[in-house]
Chains A and B, each alone.
Chain A
Amino acid sequence: MAVYHQMGHHSNNLIDLQDMSTYAGAIFSPINCTETEAASQGEGAKQSKANFEIILDPQLYVPATERGKLRKWSYFPKDVDTADFTDARWWTELNKKLAGACKKIKANAVCSPVVIPKVFDDKYYANAVRVGSELCALMQKDGINVMQTALVSFAELGSGTRPLEVASIISGTDADRVYLVLVGSTPPRREIAEVDELKGAMQLINALERNKVPVTVGFCSSDILLWKTAGASGCASGKFFNLRRFTRQRFEEPAEGGGQLPYWFEEELMAFLRQGDLLRIRKHGLLGEASRRNPFGQQILAQIDEAERTRTKLKPWLAISWRQFLYWFADVESRLSKGTVDAEYLLKAGDANWSRLDKDKVLMEERGNDGTWVRAWLNAVNEYKASK
């Protein structure tokens, strides 16, 4: 039961605080830092916290897109845009170089390399497992743990037995654990609300976990509720994943884009709120207990109150908003793991609160921020439980 920090651009300092000590490790993105920077950041993190796990995600997901510093990494294949991905030798060469990069940055673990395919079929998953198992054999002598990357399309999980088919192929890996990346087409700042797809993703996680294949779900947001309900051992999130999940579009945006407005995460609504919405919700007494005891939430509210009291310009709270979310993320994971709260309870409360706002004619600044996904998530949880 663990939370991981999905590292973003200059985000290594976000969890290097006493209040973020529950993070078990960080998943490094080569898009945002060079090998030297990764080695230095990893070393720093390990010094400040014993057993802190440094995981490298090679991020070869989408060829021909913005790659940031990825091109500078020693394993990056120069022919990635033209390579024949059915050629086993290409993957072997990549695995060898990746193993070398892991050693250089002193990673504890590495996610096996994958690309986003045109079609998510059995052959694609079988190849991913073959590559992951090959990497396990390469890494064995160095004591670097391999996580089998399973890049799975939400869309396919909505159909019948597909979650069990995918789980059956993925569980054939020699790796001890799975790094699950759920790929969707939901635009940034919108929540995934397809009940069957969410239920299918939960079934996939559960099929692996009940057979002792620990799953860490990457690129999570508030959907952590669903994955924890399904039994996920780990969940990872980062500063932008409060707003952008794993969609193809995220690769098409500039590295610094997509998250420049500060958002407050409110558990009572299971929603991200802009500043104006936060003030409205506060007036309605809908700031929950989890928000009130969130130290970064307290900082944000103190800054807002101070600006109002002194009639001065409000200090920017973007960086604190990332921490407010990341703190909540670790906190809710802990409560869900301990069983002091469950997803159904939180979602029911969220649904009731959205009804109350609706009745009181309180609208959020963003038209799509209307809480409709909360009911879909509640249905997904209920239907998942019924299917077990």
Chain B
Amino acid sequence: MQNGELEQVARKICAKRGLQFVQRVGEGAFKQTFHVVDGKHTPLALKVFKATSSNKRDQREIDAMLRCKHSNIARLVCVENCSHVGQQFVAITEEFLPGGTLTAKGQLSIAQGVAVGKQLVEAIAHIAALHLVHRDIKPDNILFRADDSTPVITDFGVVRDLTDSSITPTWAARGPGTPFFAAPEQLNNEKSLTDWRTDQFALGVVLAYSVLGTHPYSESGISDREIVDRVAARRAPGDWFQGRAAEAGLPALLKMVAPWPVDRFRRPEMLTRAWSEQKG
């Protein structure tokens, strides 16, 4: 029972560090996240997973989070190793974000979308400046602070460091990430085409989905799987989306989700400037 095992590890760490265990708040394939509180009543997120000798991704995640210093990116508090019943575990303590996920917020108004988008654009610009590609920008990985208006990017589990060698094997048909929000180059595992513009695409999809209620590549009556296939095949965004984005005063979205990176905003500052001009 790995789930119970991870909770036992979390409770063990809490006991050791004088933290108060509150509850489990999230669960991935190999990780669980727990809400804990420290001695100063500061809520924290404790992420626990089993250590493996070959898991470079976990180290990349930790390294990436340590390098990021931005108000819209989750802050890493500490990392520790823990032994439990003869096995090694890793525990990452991050700030706790009580405002819930972007998914839970449902559809945003255009004004809300513009405001949230502005902060997230700045966050991915910060990630880009560090030569990192998050590769899993999606509503579930965007949480809010207690003020309910400050979005924070979390979960650097599949982060790519462009200054380091790629972990994903070249034979893999698809790169890591969540297909519904992924860029074509990610879906097709085109490593040399993957850079900050890959995150730009995903953010464009997230914002389109959150504000306009649709995936940019959606067409009437097609399934999510078919949408992903359309993205991978680099078909143009749907006509409905093109009209709706312009009508909503969000034309930058069209460029953000262009099928080819060359047609997206080339540099983070260009995206930042364009987004600041979105009338909404």
Interface residues of A (CB under 8 A from B): 122-123, 125-126, 161, 164-165, 167-172, 207-208, 210-213
Contacts and interface: CB of A to CB of B under 8 A. Distances in A.
B260 A207 contact: yes
A162 to B, nearest CB: 12
Given A161-B234, A207-B260, A171 B266 contact: yes
Given A161-B234, A164-B260, A207-B260, A169 B192 contact: yes
Given A126-B191, A169-B193, A171-B262, 14 more contacts: A122-B193, A125-B192, A165-B193, A165-B260, A168-B193, A168-B260, A168-B262, A170-B262, A171-B266, A172-B195, A172-B197, A207-B260, A207-B263, A211-B263
Residue of A123, A165, A167, A172 contacting most chain B CB atoms (<10 Å):
A172
B192 A164 contact: no
B266 A213 contact: yes
Contact of A208 (B193, B195, B262): B262
Q: Which residue, B192, B260, B266, has most C-beta atoms of chain A within 10 A? A: B192
A122 B190 contact: yes
B216 interface: no
A207 B264 CA distance: 11
22 contacts: A122-B190, A122-B191, A122-B193, A123-B192, A125-B192, A126-B192, A161-B234, A164-B260, A164-B262, A165-B193, A165-B260, A168-B193, A168-B260, A172-B195, A172-B197, A172-B261, A207-B262, A207-B263, A210-B263, A211-B262, A212-B266, A213-B266
Interface string B224-259: 000000000010000000000000000000000000
A126 B191 CA distance: 9
Contact of B261 (A125, A161, A171, A210): A171
Interface of B: 185, 190-193, 195, 197, 234, 260-263, 266
Nearest to B195: A172
B36 to A, nearest CB: 41
Contacts of B260: 164-165, 167-168, 207
Nearest to A164: B260
Nearest to B190: A122
A213 B234 CA distance: 22
Contacts of A211: 262-263, 266
B94 to A, nearest CB: 30
A168 B195 CA distance: 10
Contacts of A168: 185, 193, 260-262
Contacts of B234: 161
Given A161-B234, A172-B195, A167 B262 contact: yes
A167 B261 CA distance: 8
B226 to A, nearest CB: 21
Contacts of A170: 262
Contacts of A169: 192-193
Contacts of B191: 122, 126
A112 to B, nearest CB: 17
